[in-house]
Amino acid sequence: MPQSPETLNDPSHLTFLERGLYIIGGLLLAAAGAKPRPNPLLNIAALSVGGYLAWRGAEGSCPAKAAIAELDSAPTARRLS
């Protein structure tokens, strides 16, 4: 689906490289979570986080990146001397 210019300028929009890293990293983490481990909570956590990262990469947007960009663009408070 083609994206509009305002979507491309959105700070939460991931670049092609970031999307690839999210997808690969998420799939690797999910694959690591699929291995049997003594603690099944680690498996569930790895599968959940890995799936979320892969999904975010496929979607092309990241709320964490948007929050960081919002903090960077916020005006800094001046100290009174």
The tens place of each residue's pLDDT in the chain, 81 residues long, gives 455 545 556 767 889 999 999 999 999 999 999 998 899 999 999 999 999 999 999 999 888 888 888 887 766 655 455
Q: What is the pLDDT of residue 67?
A: 84
Q: What is the DSSP-derived secondary structure letter of residue 4?
A: -
Confirm whether pTM is higher than 0.95. Answer: no
Gap between the Cα atoms of 51 and 57, Å rounded: 10
Query: Quick one: pLDDT at residue 47?
Result: 95
Which pLDDT score is estimated for 8?
A: 57
Q: Which helix (H) or strand (E) holds 23?
A: helix 16-34
